[in-house]
Structure 1
Amino acid sequence: MKQLFTRRAILAGLAAIGLTAATFAPALAADKITVGALRFTSHSGGFVAFEKGYFTEQGLEVEFKFFQAAQPMAVAIASGDVDFGVTSITAGLVNLADKGAVKVIGGVLQEEKGIDGSAILAGTAAYEAGLTSPAKLAGHSLGITQTGSSFHYMASQVAAKEGFAASEISMKPLQKVGAIIGALKSGQVDAMIIVPHIAKPLSKGGAAKIIGWINDYDDYQVTTAFTSAKNAAERPELVKRFVAAYAKGAEDFNAVMVDKTKGNAAIEEMTKLIHKYVYTSRPYEKAAPSIKNGAMRLQPNLKLNLTNVKKQLAWFQAEGLVGKDIAIDVLVDTQFVETY
């Protein structure tokens, strides 16, 4: 009787003797996957994993597809145009999960005390008119991508802690981060919330003032890794290989750019690597400071702050943006990473 060998069995055998699929790359074709990303420093775990061959080690041939907001990426996962994505949890993503289309499989970017994270910005004119702290956001306009986006959620957490209703902030959905920046610069909106590699140059250049930090308001699991529900259920070994490669890239990023344990030469080398994907239209000398400013800790081993994800889900439900009966296991598949 003929013995049949599946790709999974071959990979398991290689792992048992300390080898990877990459060892026999010519004989064992890699699985081709498309990974959704934003051109943010916070997505560097994937860029590092790609450039350093960690995806290849896991038998994965990766192509990146870039987006300008979170919800379109979730739709692309659901449609099968993208296999894996890394971005924030949105109402759109939760609703797609409720339809059995997507699953969160791990955590990526986490706000952490002591490390600059998402900044609350006031436009220069608004600041000079008195918007000098998050406590004064009531009665002002704030640019967001979409209703139910991460920006919407973060603004609501600020309002709750400062003691006023989120409805007292005039949320302006502008679809793309670039449009929000333009609106802030021109005074069409008074405020925005954004990652540090964008916030700091805006502040330094005089277009806005940093008036607060999100990590003072919420233990926020900013971005997560997700895939189709079909991949999670039917191809768990593929998901595990993606997680392993991405986590290795995140580990390198943290050591070099956040903890800075590898020295200045390593920082320069990794900044040049990231520049292939972030601020690509700028010369390296102008892009490097912003890339370095955007270094926030990525979750070790893609562990997931499930406690905060549950809080996010409860907020979406309270706002009437998703169904009130959606359970956390509809949104998250916890088999792939540690949760807390």
Structure 2
Amino acid sequence: MSITLSRRQALGAMAAVAAVGTLGAPAFAREKVKVGALRFTSHAPSFVAFERGYFAEAGLDVEFEFFQAAQPMAVAIAAGDVDFGVTAITGGLISLAEKGAVKVVGGALQEEAGIDGQMILASNAAHDAGLTSPAALKGKTFGISTAGSSFHYMASKIAAAEGFPGEIGFRPLQKVSAIIGALKSGQIDAWAIVPHIAKALTAAGAVQTIGRVADYLPDYQVTTIFTSADNAAEERSKTQAFLAAFSKGAADFNAALIDRSTGDAAAEEMVKLIHGYVYTDRPYEKAAPSIRNGAMRITPEAALKMSSITDQLDWFKAESLVRGDIAVDQLVDASYVASI
């Protein structure tokens, strides 16, 4: 049986964990925890929580393991080699959950109206031929990494909203770099991607922006926090501690780069902190604009947008990309955070 906490209850549980750490008696004697991450701005809450001592306050001795893609991270967590990670809901993740290997326990990156989020792009050639808005995507080719990816989901929802479901041609290209190359060269017509990539491509004149994903999926829970099913069931204190520390990192990130409520100096400090993990091969002056452009809101207090999770699961089932009988509580352990 899953239990959904109210917002008040979730806040109280997180405050209790934080208070214990502040009093110098953490719930754990600095338990070692491996956190899977990608070197993306969207993973910044984990970096902030580490650098500002929030994990340590919660009794966690965190070590990062970096991945090149989300799917290998999911496999590592299912195997118990990594404890926690952040990724989009994909067919692969749902299949691991259906096998009883992983559980989603919190929310991370989200789309929000009024905040720069994922952008819908057209190749210059397609744009010149009339692809100037998502309404013109009918019959066009759209780049995705693989079938069952978040790219696949977004494009399908856009097509359905515009009245031509199933009438986009999907081109699985495996890697983001391959999709970028195909779009720039006109081998595909369109794509949707996070702002730090989209803005850079548009600014360079390599592609054209024709819309925003938030206009079609305004409450999209883009990424989620997940762990092994064993951790979720048997290591509640550790999982609660991780979520509490991650949430503090997310609050700092949102305040500095999304709400801009802490001032310019705090924003600069945040960008410098993130640069220790993201675009490390670039000098700060060149990396900073991309980090700022990649800032999207992280769901406060790791709350889960359950309507979005359910919509995604229903789409995967309707497309026969996962088993049709999998229930949402097989994918999500809703007992850890508030549902919104």
When normalised by structure 2's length, the TM-score is: 0.91
Residue 202 in structure 1 maps to residue 201 in structure 2: yes
- In the TM superposition, what whole-angstrom CA distance separates every residue of 1:53-88 from its partner, at most 9, and x where no partner exists? 111111111122223333222212111222111010
The answer to whether the Cα contact below 8 Å between 1:159 and 1:165 also exists between their aligned partners in 2 is yes
* 1: CA distance, partners of 2:212 / 2:222: 13
Which deviates more from structure 2 when the two are superposed, residues 194-203 or residues 70-79?
Answer: 70-79
Alignment of 1:278-317 (within 5 A): 278-317=278-317
* 1: CA distance, partners of 2:245 / 2:23: 12
* 2: CA distance, partners of 1:69 / 1:200: 21
2:193 counterpart letter in structure 1: I
| Residue in 2 that maps onto 1:232 | 232
* 1: CA distance, partners of 2:180 / 2:64: 24
* 2: CA distance, partners of 1:259 / 1:137: 33
Identity of aligned residues (%): 63
| Residue in 2 that maps onto 1:215 | 214
**Alpha-carbon distance change, 95 to 212 in structure 1, aligned in 2, over 3 angstroms:** same
Superposed displacement of residue 252, structure 1: 0.3
The answer to whether the Cα contact below 8 Å between 2:111 and 2:117 also exists between their aligned partners in 1 is yes
The answer to whether the Cα contact below 8 Å between 1:142 and 1:192 also exists between their aligned partners in 2 is yes
* 2: CA distance, partners of 1:229 / 1:268: 38
**Alpha-carbon distance change, 21 to 179 in structure 1, aligned in 2, over 3 angstroms:** farther
| Residue in 2 that maps onto 1:23 | 24
**Counterpart secondary structure, 1:35:** strand
**Counterpart secondary structure, 2:265:** helix
**Alpha-carbon distance change, 55 to 164 in structure 1, aligned in 2, over 3 angstroms:** same
Which deviates more from structure 2 when the two are superposed, residues 78-87 or residues 255-264?
Answer: 78-87
* 1: CA distance, partners of 2:19 / 2:209: 49
Superposed displacement of residue 179, structure 1: 2.1
- In the TM superposition, what whole-angstrom CA distance separates every residue of 1:143-196 from its partner, at most 9, and x where no partner exists? 111110111000011000000023x22211122222222222222222111001
The answer to whether the Cα contact below 8 Å between 1:70 and 1:149 also exists between their aligned partners in 2 is no
**Alpha-carbon distance change, 66 to 142 in structure 1, aligned in 2, over 3 angstroms:** farther
1:169 counterpart letter in structure 2: I
Superposed displacement of residue 19, structure 1: 4.1
**Alpha-carbon distance change, 276 to 228 in structure 1, aligned in 2, over 3 angstroms:** same
Superposed displacement of residue 130, structure 1: 1.7
- In the TM superposition, what whole-angstrom CA distance separates every residue of 1:185-231 from its partner, at most 9, and x where no partner exists? 22222211100111101100111111100110012110000000000
| Residue in 2 that maps onto 1:185 | 184
Alignment of 1:1-340 (within 5 A): 18-20=19-21, 23=24, 29-166=29-166, 168-218=167-217, 219-340=219-340
**Alpha-carbon distance change, 36 to 17 in structure 1, aligned in 2, over 3 angstroms:** closer
* 2: CA distance, partners of 1:173 / 1:37: 24
* 1: CA distance, partners of 2:179 / 2:65: 22
* 1: CA distance, partners of 2:17 / 2:93: 37
| Residue in 2 that maps onto 1:3 | none
The answer to whether the Cα contact below 8 Å between 1:70 and 1:90 also exists between their aligned partners in 2 is no
Superposed displacement of residue 259, structure 1: 0.5
Q: Where does the alignment leave 5 or more consecutive residues of structure 1 unmatched?
A: 1-11
Superposed displacement of residue 30, structure 1: 1.6
2:105 counterpart letter in structure 1: I
The answer to whether the Cα contact below 8 Å between 1:45 and 1:250 also exists between their aligned partners in 2 is yes
**Counterpart secondary structure, 1:138:** coil
* 2: CA distance, partners of 1:329 / 1:337: 14
Q: Where does the alignment leave 5 or more consecutive residues of structure 2 unmatched?
A: 1-12
- In the TM superposition, what whole-angstrom CA distance separates every residue of 1:18-67 from its partner, at most 9, and x where no partner exists? 44289368xx7421112122222111111111111111111111122223
Count of residues in correspondence between the two structures: 324
**Alpha-carbon distance change, 170 to 18 in structure 1, aligned in 2, over 3 angstroms:** closer
The answer to whether the Cα contact below 8 Å between 1:123 and 1:207 also exists between their aligned partners in 2 is yes
* 2: CA distance, partners of 1:109 / 1:16: 23
Superposed displacement of residue 125, structure 1: 1.9
Q: Whose relative contact order is higher, 1 or 2, with alpha carbons under 8 Å and at least 6 apart?
A: 2
